[in-house]
Amino acid sequence: MDVKEIREIIRKELVEGILQTQDFYVVGNWKMYKNKHEVISFLDKVISHDFKEKNHIVIIPPFSYLYLFEERLRYSKIEYGVQNLYPKDEGAYTGEISYRQALDFGARYAIVGHSERRNIFNEDNSLLSEKVSACIKNNIKPIFCIGEDLNKRQNNDYHDFLISQIREGLSLVSGKDLQRVIIAYEPIWAIGTGVNATPAQVEETHMFIRNFLIQEYGDETGKVIPILYGGSVKPANVLELALADGVSGFLIGGASLDADSFIEINNKLN
Ligand code: PEP
């Protein structure tokens, strides 16, 4: 069976609802934005919103505001996480935050390998694989980011690159543990640029990643790992992107900073 045929089968299964990645994720990455006052007013606004039962609503604030999330979201459906973590329990790692410290504040997710960490802070797949593994061991869901730059996209040279990011990044995790990983496909050229990947590009790439996951890790695991899309998602484009085959949710930067826009995105997915 060639790749095209396999893809066709997956597409059919998806459409018929047989292929279940079940949960849908709406994740806001706040990066290094907001002050205390802004965090409180955002949380006051979203706390009473009636989010769709089935969707996971996750916000990833800067570390310094985790305590506000713990204080204010105790009875809320909204979950939260951290943007980065060091893969050691504790120790002389000035400037880093450990898994234990994140868990202490109720964080349940961690972004691993965001392109800003890879490119600005030189994090490589070897370090990232340790981070993914430490997340899994500590019961934190890693949102493992992958994505090509514009050059690779324009040269149609991104497939092998994405495969190597996944292979290397997940190399320390095996068996059923792999089912606890979330992948976020974030083409670098779409992050913070206002230019999102088209639904056709998202669909092609997500199906390619799904296909690879199934071939590499088998049906049981490959079919259930959620694949989120990230890159200039906003209220105006979220619905058409959600309709692309193989999208299990979104990782959203800029449009997650404003409570009204975050709520609008979620309303469109209801
Ligand atoms: C991100 O930072 O992960 C992201 C997708 O940002 P934006 O939505 O602003 O493109």
Map out the domains of the chain as residue ranges.
Answer: 24-268
**Residue minimizing CA distance to atom 4 of ligand 1:** 253
DSSP 258: S
**Residue minimizing CA distance to atom 2 of ligand 1:** 253
Known catalytic residue at 114 = yes
Known catalytic residue at 186 = yes
* 250 φ/ψ angles, rounded to the nearest 5 degrees: -135, 145
The tens-digit pLDDT sequence of the chain (270 residues) is: 554 555 566 556 655 554 455 689 999 999 999 999 999 999 999 998 888 778 999 999 999 999 999 999 988 999 999 999 999 999 999 999 999 999 999 999 999 999 999 999 999 999 999 999 999 999 999 999 999 999 999 999 999 999 999 999 999 999 999 999 999 999 999 999 999 999 999 999 999 999 999 999 999 999 999 999 999 999 999 999 999 999 999 999 999 999 999 999 999 997
Pocket test for ligand 1, best of 59, 60, 118, 186 (most atoms within 8 A of CB): 186
Residue 90 Cα to ligand 1 middle (Å): 30
Q: Which of 143, 142, 141, 163 is nearest to 228 (CA)?
A: 143
Q: Could you tell me if residue 5 is left (phi over 0), alpha (psi between -120 and 50 degrees) or otherwise beta?
A: alpha
Its pTM surpasses 0.95: no
Query: How many Cβ atoms from other residues are within 10 Å of residue 129's Cβ?
Result: 21
For ligand 1, residues with CB inside 6 Å are 29, 186, 191-192, 230-233, 251-255
Residue 204 Cα to ligand 1 middle (Å): 20
CA–CA gap between residue 6 and residue 181 (Å, rounded): 23
164-179: burial string, b at 16+ Cβ within 10 Å, e else: ebbeebbebbeeeebb
Tally DSSP H helices, then E strands, for the chain: 12, 8
CATH of domain 24-268: 3.20.20.70
Read off the amino acid at residue 171.
S
Residue 38 Cα to ligand 1 middle (Å): 19
Residue 231 Cα to ligand 1 middle (Å): 5
Angle between helices 125-137 and 159-169 (to 10 degrees): 50
DSSP class per residue in 215-231: HHH-HHHHTTS-EEEES
**Residue minimizing CA distance to atom 8 of ligand 1:** 253
